Structure 1
């Protein structure tokens, strides 16, 4: 019998000064059996950095035809296709054909090798933006994980200040070019 996803709840108070987004979000996040806590937290960070009314988590790892998150127009048009990790240039090319913009939030071991290997092919895709997080900062973020999380996130100058009742961490987002 296949393992089931573990469900996490995140109550976010978001203040994105860079984009003038100030809102509360109650998220339900399914942690796929093959997914790490770190990857789940990167998905939450991606949500925070791209927060919008119609931004939703998808089936993610459970579906090869969907990104981790997407922002859709009311008419079904995909405005933003958001990937987490180190997707192949072919996957990003396919995403570019379906969405107006493609954003990647990369992290983890091997990120430098992935970028060095794929930067030319990805750079040729005009709709694609690649962002990355520091592995050391993400390890600090993992310490905030609980089955039910109450998180305050403030974003300014591409830095996320994430805190719960007892701990605060700083996560820098940088764009790869």
Structure 2
């Protein structure tokens, strides 16, 4: 772990009614000194909204050959490559080929992120989904994050309801194909 990494603990009650996922999780995330709290929040949201058996965080931004979040099957083979931010087309191409399924979560304006991939070679680009949230939502969540956090996250009919340390927030979950 890098010097200056700040550890955050999240006790999460997850209820994703849209996918039928209900879990109580304790997650520890290291925040690298160059990582914004908004990026940390996006890693956390990507993990929760993609939660399934075999999901794990990578080593963070220092793991240049891994996505922010990945899913592995019982044999250790990667089955989902989940990026955060605005990865380049080559990285998405690699992840989609390696895992068979790729997804991107961003706190940026999708209209500014999507052109980054236009006309680029990306394996199964038609199957890759870009997920974002209402403007200001991620920043509001980031403002509520402390070192130790209690989170209740519910998703129903495409709407995310989140309570972070007593602060209640909500946003639509926006999903678009990258093509």
Please give the TM-score of this superposition, normalised by the length of structure 2: 0.90
Aligned to 1:114: 113
1:173 aligns with 173
Partner of 1:60: 60
Deviation at 1:165, TM superposition (A): 4.7
For structure 1, the residue ranges without an aligned partner over 5 or more in a row are none
- 1:54-88 Cα deviation digits (max 9, x unpaired): 11101121111100010100101111110000011
Size of the aligned set, in residue pairs, is 175
TM-align CA RMSD: 1.8
State the match for 1:37 in structure 2.
37
Contact 1:9 1:147 survives alignment (8 Å) = yes
Offset of residue 114 of structure 1: 2.7
In structure 2, the partner of 1:27 is 27
Unmatched tracts of structure 2, length 5 or more: none
Task: Give CA deviations for 1:107-159 in whole Å, capped at 9, x if unaligned.
Answer: 226x5323124244359624422212233111221232010001111011222
Change (3 A) 1:154 1:13: same
Structure 1 distance, partners of 2:140, 2:123, is 31
| Mapped pair 1:137 → 2:137 | yes
Separation (CA, whole Å) in 2 of partners of 1:164 and 1:95 = 31
